[in-house]
Amino acid sequence: MKKIKAKDAVGMSICHDMTRIIPGKSKGVAFKKGHIITEDDLSILEKMGKENIYVYEDKPGFIHEDDSALRIGNAICNSREFDFSDIKEGKLNIHSKRSGLIKIDREKLYELNRIEDISITTVYDNIIVSEGEKIASCRIIPMFTKKINIKKLEGICSFGKLFSVKPFLKKKIHLIITGNEIFKGLVEDAFYDTLKPKIEYYGSSIIRTLKLPDDDKLIENQIIRSVEQGADIVICTGGMSVDEDDLTPTSIIRASNEVITHGAPVQPGNMFMLAYRNKIPIVGIPTAAIYNKITLFDKVLPMLLCNEKPDGDFFIKLSLGGLCRSCSECHYPNCTYCKGR
C-alpha cells in the first residue's frame, strides 16, 4: 500500500472501499475498491477529509482486508448453513440459511479475537434466529494484516466451526392439565390456549390434552403412559407452587429418571421444572405462564425442540438477567431476559 497526494492520484486505482459520512443523513461507500480516481472526484475527497490516497502496492507476507474477510468467513462457519454478503468497507456479513437456535463456541470466539488484527462479532449465543437473519460480521482492523494471522485463525477453526444453527424439529406433545377446579369444570382452563400458539410457532403440535384432578398417583401414571405412547415432550401445568395440595412436582419426580431443575432463579418462572424419563423431557409449567406474556418456558421450549438438553448449571446462569423488566411493550427475545452467561 502506497500513500500519495489525492491531487496526484488521478488515473490511479484505490485499494479499499472509502466511506463517506454525511452527519444525520447517510453513511456508505463513496468509492469502491478498484475505482479509478478522476478530476471530478477530488472535490468529494476533499469534503471527506481525504488529502491522501492509498494505492495498491504488493507487500510480501501480507493480505488485503477483503481477502482476509472472505477467508475468515470460510473458516468460522459452514457455507451449507450460512450465506455471505458482498464485502463492503472490508466487512463480510454472515446470514443464516435457516431458522433455529444458534450455538456459538464462546471461548473460541474470544480466542479468535485475541489474534492480532482480527475482528469477529456475533449475535448472542443460544437465541432464536430466523432464515436470512444476519448473525455475524467479520473483518480485520487495518487494511492489511500478516498472512500468518489468518493462517492461525484457520488452524484453530480446522478443529471445529465457530457457530452453527440447530433447526427446530416437529415434536408431538402431550399436555396434562392438573387441578380439581379445572377437572370439575369450576374454572375454565387457560393453559391450552396460551401454550398452543407458542408450540405451533415452531412447527410442533399438541396431539393429546388431558385434564386430571389433584391426585399425585393419577398424574404420575399419566406421565408414564404418555411417554410409553410416544410423546416427544410431556408438559404438565398447574399445581407447581409450594402449597401442600400442589402435587404436580411430586408426580414428575416419581415418573422421571432424572430431574434437571425444580425451581430456577428466574422471574417469572421461579417454579418451572424440567425432568426426563427415558430421554423424554417432562416439563412442569407454573401458573405464571397464563398471566405473563413471557416466562422461563419461552426460553426452554425452543431448546427442547432442537433436542438441546439444558443442565442444572444452565438454569443457575440464567439468574443474571433472569428478572423480567416488565416493559410497557414487550420486546422479547430482543432484551436481557433469560440471556444468561
Residue 68 belongs to a domain with what CATH number? 3.90.1170.30
Whole-number pLDDT of residue 245:
65
In a domain, 339, yes or no: no
Whole-number pLDDT of residue 56:
65
C-alpha cell at 219: 398424574
C-alpha cell at 245: 395440595
CA dist 293 and 195 (Å) reads 11
Residue 95 shares a structural domain with residue 151: yes
Instruction: Tell me which residue has cell 455471505.
Output: 84
- What's the gap between Cα 215 and its chain centre? 39
CA dist 119 and 327 (Å) reads 33
In a domain, 324, yes or no: no
Q: How far is CA 100 from CA 163, 205, 225, 338, 341, in A?
A: 12, 17, 30, 17, 20
Whole-number pLDDT of residue 1:
62
Residue 233 shares a structural domain with residue 139: no
In a domain, 99, yes or no: yes
Which CATH number is 32's domain given?
3.90.105.10
Whole-number pLDDT of residue 4:
78
Cβ atoms of 125 and 106 within 8 Å: the answer is yes
In a domain, 332, yes or no: no
Structural domain boundaries, residue 137: 62-166
Phi/psi region, residue 155 (left: phi>0; alpha: psi -120 to 50; beta: rest), is alpha
End position of a domain, from candidates 104, 139, 166: 166
- Listed as ranges, residues in the chain with pLDDT below 70 are 1, 55-58, 242-245
